Structure 1
Amino acid sequence: MTHAGTTALLVIDAQESFRQRTQEWAQTANPRVLENIARLVDRARVLGETVAWVTHSEPGSGGVFDPAQGFVRVVSDLDPLPTEMAVTKTSVNAFTSTDLEERLRDAGVTRVVICGIRTDQCCETTARVAADLGFDVVFVTDATTTSPIEADGGLAAVSGEDIMRRTEAILAARGFATISSTERLVES
């Protein structure tokens, strides 16, 4: 079942900033994330769905998310088209600090498919906010990734894989999103 015209693929923070954190990027829980995102982008384009590219920016921070450093751009493995939506956020979710909701509503979007970097952070938060805003949300876990959280203050470390499973379970169980795989969406 397709939802052309009413669906938008939100590609969250698939940006060079993360690859600049080389040790963290080497520990990514899902090394196939960019391949799966590319498959979802190809599918959305074929179906005539909206593709929205979201990047994260921390102006003045001096770090890899500071636009002055030159890394706040979509990873070179992916190829945004000039006609596709692009927003740069300064909040964790893709809506609060951008006009994304207005642009999606203007395009007639009622369903969002979420993929990108930091399963448990920007992707999950965007999914929750999108659900609160009334969008039907599909969360494609295998087209997201995160890295482990190190132990601090006597707490146990959490693997990236465990974080991804936890995010998927909570989004589904709490009614924020329908969980899908890249394969399931591409084949539908």
Structure 2
Amino acid sequence: MNTEDDRTDGVDTYRLRGRAGRTLDPTTTAVLVIDPVNDFLSEEGAAWDMTESTVTKHDVIGHLRRLIDGVREHDIPVLYGPMAYTSDDYAGQELHRRTGINRIMFEQQMFLAGSWGADFHPNLRPREGEIVLHPHKGSDVFETDLREHLQRLGTTQLVLAGMTANLCVESTGRHAAEHGYDVTFVRDAIGAENLPAYEASIRVNFPLIGNAVLDTDDLLSAIGPDRLPREGDDVYASDQLKLGGIDEVVEDDDGPGYVLVKRGIFNRDTYVPLDAVVRVAEGKAFVNIPKLVVGKVPWDEPPTAASRNAKMGPRPSDIAKLYGSVAPTG
């Protein structure tokens, strides 16, 4: 496992946490539930008039409950990332003058430390011994003690759920991905302050910044030993749109493996590289790019070693200056 201290020089900007499999390994997976609190999820909560539409439409509380119970059966750790504000945050740190969302929370008296609103929803309380993180003050849970817990647990695959899609969940997912974690978003266990914000995150942003976007049932069925997709499985893009069914699975033997989707949604044969299949659930295989992008990538013929190597780019030792005319400062 890599940590911040593993860097060998001052210019590394990305460190892989572990090789990504097509399933979720219980020994290296953790689930982070962000802000499952009354102000977001209860009818009397300070933010309920904003979050009600997505929370009720997608039964977020029910899916969070199913997700948490399901991963506990596999001994996958569940971490909780709540918010809580005191007078020091506003009088001392002036958070209400820093961002729009902090101003809204200040004016609406949301998530005040020790209040009912900042407490966990009664259906989503942590069990004794489960990890409750220090409260985040902005929209990024990664800026708490989260990373220390993930390193201690040996986590390489991070599953995100909770509130809200376009703020805390998205910010934390971006940060985790930049730090080398394999990030999965559980779309029906995530809510937002309105439907447009939810759809923008689920359909546009999550499919690009994470490795997978799954429903709760698909995520739970993807837990276990790594496995290949099978003939007859349906293939879905990362925006949950179906590409077609698998006609053939070719493993990585003499060249790059692939799955063949014959005459799929693009009315042509599509050869999906096996390393683009990032999750395998019951009867389903998920690739890590959206459907509209699948139609633009060169998957109209089987991948070869030569084509894969060309996509890898040049060797670092062959590059004198990264940007052609200049080198990075420092």
Shift of 1:179: 0.7
**Alpha-carbon distance between aligned partners in 1 of 2:147 and 2:201, rounded to the nearest angstrom:** 23
Which of 50, 54, 57 aligns to 1:24? It is: 50
1:30 maps to a residue whose letter is V
Q: TM-score, normalised by structure 2?
A: 0.50
| Structural RMSD (CA) | 1.7
**Alpha-carbon distance between aligned partners in 1 of 2:114 and 2:214, rounded to the nearest angstrom:** 36
Unaligned runs of 5+ in 1: 149-159
CA contact (8 A) 1:43 1:186 kept: yes
Q: TM-score, normalised by structure 1?
A: 0.85
Shift of 1:183: 1.5
Q: Match for residue 164 of structure 1?
A: 198
Shift of 1:37: 0.6
Q: Match for residue 220 of structure 2?
A: 186
Q: Match for residue 129 of structure 1?
A: 175
Do structure 1's residue 39 and structure 2's residue 70 form an aligned pair?
no
CA contact (8 A) 2:35 2:83 kept: yes
**Alpha-carbon distance between aligned partners in 2 of 1:117 and 1:42, rounded to the nearest angstrom:** 18
CA contact (8 A) 1:8 1:111 kept: yes
Shift of 1:73: 1.9
Do structure 1's residue 143 and structure 2's residue 199 form an aligned pair?
no
**Alpha-carbon distance between aligned partners in 2 of 1:24 and 1:130, rounded to the nearest angstrom:** 27
Sequence identity percentage: 25
Describe the SS at the equivalent of 1:35.
helix
Shift of 1:82: 1.5
Cα deviations by residue, 1:120-177 (Å, 9 ceiling, x for unpaired)? 11111111111011110000111101122xxxxxxxxxxx1x32222122221x3433
**Alpha-carbon distance between aligned partners in 1 of 2:29 and 2:197, rounded to the nearest angstrom:** 27
Q: Match for residue 254 of structure 2?
A: none
Number of residue pairs matched by the alignment = 173
CA contact (8 A) 2:34 2:160 kept: yes
Unaligned runs of 5+ in 2: 1-22, 91-105, 223-330
Shift of 1:3: 1.0
Describe the SS at the equivalent of 1:185.
helix
**Alpha-carbon distance between aligned partners in 1 of 2:73 and 2:114, rounded to the nearest angstrom:** 35
**Alpha-carbon distance between aligned partners in 1 of 2:191 and 2:113, rounded to the nearest angstrom:** 22
**Alpha-carbon distance between aligned partners in 2 of 1:144 and 1:181, rounded to the nearest angstrom:** 10
Do structure 1's residue 89 and structure 2's residue 136 form an aligned pair?
yes
1:45 maps to a residue whose letter is R
**Alpha-carbon distance between aligned partners in 1 of 2:68 and 2:82, rounded to the nearest angstrom:** 16
Larger radius of gyration: 2
2:205 maps to a residue whose letter is I
